[in-house]
Amino acid sequence: MSDNPRNPVNVKKRYALILFVMGIFVFGFLYAAGIFGDPGTTAQKFVNLQQGDKPHYSFRRAHAKGICLQGEFISNGSLAPFSTSEFFQRSTSPFIGRFSTAGANPLAPDLAAPVRSLALSFSSESGQRWRTAMNTPPVLAVRTPDEFYQQLVALTPDPATGKPDGRKVKEFFAAHPESAAFNQWKKDYIPTSSFATEQYHSINAFYLIDSQDNKHAVRWAAVPQADVQPMTSNMATGAPDALQAEAEQRLKHDVIRFDLMVSFANATDDENNATIIWPKERTTINAGTIIIDTVQAQSGGACNGINYDPLVLPTGMKATDDPILKARGSAYAESYRRRARESLLQKKDVGANQ
Amino acid sequence: MSNVNSFPTSAKLLHWISAVLIICMLFIGVTMIQSLAVWQNSAIKLHQSFGLLVLILVFLRLTNRFFIKTPDFPSDLTYLQSLAAKSTQILLYALMIALPISGLLMRNAAGLPVSFFGAFDLPILVAEGIKTYSLYREMHGLIAWSLFGVIVLHISAALHHGLIRQDSVLPSMLFKFRSRK
């Protein structure tokens, strides 16, 4: 108590003790926050690499260029035995989505992008949400976020030439034989003249959860109903927004339709490895039709505020332990945080009026 | 003037449970926003649920204060010292309330609900919007770092009372494991 005799020698030691304890506490917190040393591959490092030296403010750091879309998913109920999700009962769910092209530059020509995507955010009346970000390649080149980071490093253009260093790229893929399926896809892939005639893949696998709480590992793809049309000469001469313009034009005549094709893993498939294509014989169910009826510019569009984080899943679905799938959440969140802050502060750059 | 020199067990329990939860949440929070690890998504979900739990605990503590006698500060504290003590306490409560609420609102602004351990979803309180999201997201970070700063002051002061001044303050919040005289 306060009337205890105070020993002046002890006081010094005790101050030192307090300082030591609090020092460890503060140091521990700063260390956890990644302020000291090299915290390894983080979401921040990923997004830094994606955005490069000159970030395009207020734009997504990956797939910066895109167009908002709206429509509905008409589920035919055939997935209902495998998932309790409202979205897979016989139902119609509206969505806000986005067609986009890969890259950090919101002004890049549409046809120059090696990858195209379709992202969808479904909502149900009871407040359930499901978000998916699908790409044209069906697989990834590598299995883990660290390797994926190294892949991006290898593919980063050399500032001197403006192109990736061919030797580095070769070395990377030679060191990663698991990239074979991805590279085969890349070799065989022929870009079409429309967002509406591409096939978009979930890439990672997810679990459907049935009413008995059984897990079913699946991947899905949005498979176009429209036939591929040849590139028009207009497009080939390089209108920068060729794909966006084509989508607008197409919607004047008809809606854009995709079948949602869901493939089930069998016991030999590893649902946590997104580098391997599942064989065509796997059970595949047509879950319903994705119908897109409108597109709008992304600036001020309904999709602009949406972070298409594929880990936003409804009741009746779960994420697998695929390390890249699990890493997408925090990388997407970091990109979202940055562009949200720039929107709030109204930071502008050259691409901001696009 | 109250005539107690220690907090009642209810207040001590609530204090120490909150302390452990809040410090864990702060450490998990700054770690998970960088992490690309497989546990990250589960951490985010638990962070949301525990955030709501912490908010409930804060209101329980505030309510509890109406029913208990709290010990006075030692009489030999200067005016400035008791003012500092009092304002730190108020600041702690304000930040402990603002932190989970900003977290809830940032998630709502991103168009998503907060779930309480999967048992139920809280209602969505603000409309979806990227600027609103940013406002609450940045607030959430700032409040978290401020709370950590005030907690450092709080623990330092508690240790100062306990080890240097050796007054009644620190024991008033500690459990007495030995039988009383």
Beta-strand runs (E) in chain A = 65-76, 90-101, 116-123, 129-135, 200-201, 206-209, 215-224, 256-264, 284-297, 317-319
Instruction: Answer yes or no: is A160 within a domain.
Output: yes
Instruction: Answer yes or no: is A54 within a domain.
Output: no
Record: contact A326-B40, CB cut-off 8 A? yes
Instruction: Answer yes or no: is A272 within a domain.
Output: yes
Record: contact B166-A6, CB cut-off 8 A? yes
What is the band of A236 on the pLDDT scale with cuts at 50, 70, 90?
A: low
**Number of independent structural domains in chain A:** 2
Domain of A324? 59-328
Q: Give me chain A's average pLDDT, please.
A: 92
Inter-helix orientation angle B9-32/B40-67, to 10°: 150
Q: Report pLDDT digits (tens) over A304-343.
A: 999 999 999 999 999 999 999 999 999 999 999 999 999 9
Option in A29, A145, A343 nearest B36 (CB): A145
What is the band of A353 on the pLDDT scale with cuts at 50, 70, 90?
A: very low
Q: Which residues of B touch A (CB under 8 A)?
A: 26-27, 30-41, 44, 74, 76, 110-113, 121, 124, 128-131, 133-135, 137-138, 148, 152, 155-156, 159-160, 163-168
Instruction: Answer yes or no: is A35 within a domain.
Output: yes
Q: Is the pLDDT of residue A156 over 90?
A: no
Asked if residue A23 and residue A104 are part of one domain, the reply reads no
Record: contact A127-B121, CB cut-off 8 A? yes
Q: Percentage of residues in chain A with pLDDT exceeding 70?
A: 94
Closest CA to A293 of A241, A226, A248: A248
**CATH code of the domain containing A142:** 2.40.180.10
Interface test with B, best of A26, A344, A345 (most B CBs within 10 A): A344
- d(C-alpha A110, C-alpha A102), whole Å: 9
Q: Is the pLDDT of residue A239 over 90?
A: no
Asked if residue A182 and residue A313 are part of one domain, the reply reads yes
Q: Which chain B residue lies closest to A10 (C-alpha atoms)?
A: B164
Q: What would the two tokens of residue A242 be?
A: 């060729």
Q: Is the pLDDT of residue A78 over 90?
A: yes
Record: contact B128-A4, CB cut-off 8 A? no
- d(C-alpha A60, C-alpha A31), whole Å: 29
Q: Report pLDDT digits (tens) over A94-150.
A: 999 999 999 888 988 898 899 999 999 999 989 999 999 999 999 999 999 999 999
Option in A2, A307, A336 nearest B165 (CB): A2
Q: Where are the domains of chain B?
A: 9-173
Does CATH number 1.20.950.20 belong to domain B9-173? yes
Q: Quick check: helix, strand or coil at residue A348?
A: coil
The reported pLDDT for the residue numbered B181 is 44
Asked if residue A111 and residue A19 are part of one domain, the reply reads no
The reported pLDDT for the residue numbered A232 is 73
Is residue A66 within 8 Å of residue A99, measured between CB atoms?
yes
Asked if residue A172 and residue A138 are part of one domain, the reply reads yes
Is residue B2 within 8 Å of residue B66, measured between CB atoms?
no
Residue A63 among the catalytic residues: yes
Instruction: Answer yes or no: is A261 within a domain.
Output: yes
Using alpha carbons only, how large is chain B's radius of gyration in Å? 19
Exposed, middle or buried by CB within 10 Å (0-12, 13-18, 19+), for A4?
A: exposed
Asked if residue A251 and residue A285 are part of one domain, the reply reads yes
The reported pLDDT for the residue numbered A1 is 44
Closest CA to B130 of A346, A314, A43, A44: A346
Record: contact A127-B37, CB cut-off 8 A? no
Q: Which chain B residue lies closest to A25 (C-alpha atoms)?
A: B152
Q: Report pLDDT digits (tens) over A181-202.
A: 999 999 999 999 999 999 999 9
* Stronger pLDDT, A235 or B138, i.e. the higher one: B138
Q: Which chain A residue lies closest to B155 (C-alpha atoms)?
A: A22
Q: Which of residues 30-89 of A touch B (CB under 8 A)?
A: 32-34, 39, 41-44, 46
Closest CA to A321 of A200, A210, A215, A181: A215
Is residue A127 within 8 Å of residue B124, measured between CB atoms?
yes
Q: How many CB pairs under 8 A join A and B?
A: 121
Query: Which residue in A56, A63, A176, A216 is the catalytic one?
Result: A63
Asked if residue A295 and residue A156 are part of one domain, the reply reads yes
Closest CA to A106 of A350, A347, A338: A350
Record: contact A339-B130, CB cut-off 8 A? yes
Give A341→chain B minimum CA distance, Å. Answer: 5
**Which of A176-190, A291-305, B68-82 has the lowest average pLDDT?**
B68-82
The residue behind tokens 């035995």 is: A81
- Residues of chain B with Cβ-Cβ distance to A341 below 8 Å are 134, 137-138
Give A240→chain B minimum CA distance, Å. Answer: 27
Q: Which chain B residue lies closest to A308 (C-alpha atoms)?
A: B110
Instruction: Answer yes or no: is A22 within a domain.
Output: yes
Closest CA to A87 of A187, A252, A267, A209: A209
Interface test with B, best of A13, A21, A337 (most B CBs within 10 A): A337
Q: Report pLDDT digits (tens) over B94-131.
A: 999 999 999 999 999 999 999 999 899 999 999 999 99
pTM for this prediction: 0.92
The reported pLDDT for the residue numbered A7 is 56
Exposed, middle or buried by CB within 10 Å (0-12, 13-18, 19+), for B160?
A: middle
CA-to-CA separations, B117 to B66, B107, B120, B178, in angstroms, rounded: 30, 16, 7, 37
What is the band of B178 on the pLDDT scale with cuts at 50, 70, 90?
A: low
CA-to-CA separations, A292 to A58, A88, A99, A225, in angstroms, rounded: 26, 18, 11, 12
Q: Which of residues 144-203 of A touch B (CB under 8 A)?
A: 145
Look up the ipTM and state it.
0.94
Asked if residue A176 and residue A29 are part of one domain, the reply reads no
Q: Is the pLDDT of residue B142 over 90?
A: yes
A336 lies within 8 A of chain B by CB: yes
Asked if residue A166 and residue A215 are part of one domain, the reply reads yes
Record: contact B134-A32, CB cut-off 8 A? no
Asked if residue A215 and residue A157 are part of one domain, the reply reads yes
- Residues of chain B with Cβ-Cβ distance to A327 below 8 Å are 36-37, 40
Asked if residue A123 and residue A28 are part of one domain, the reply reads no
Interface test with A, best of B6, B81, B130 (most A CBs within 10 A): B130
A268 lies within 8 A of chain B by CB: no
Asked if residue A163 and residue A32 are part of one domain, the reply reads no
Q: Is the pLDDT of residue A351 over 50?
A: no
Q: Is the pLDDT of residue B1 over 80?
A: no
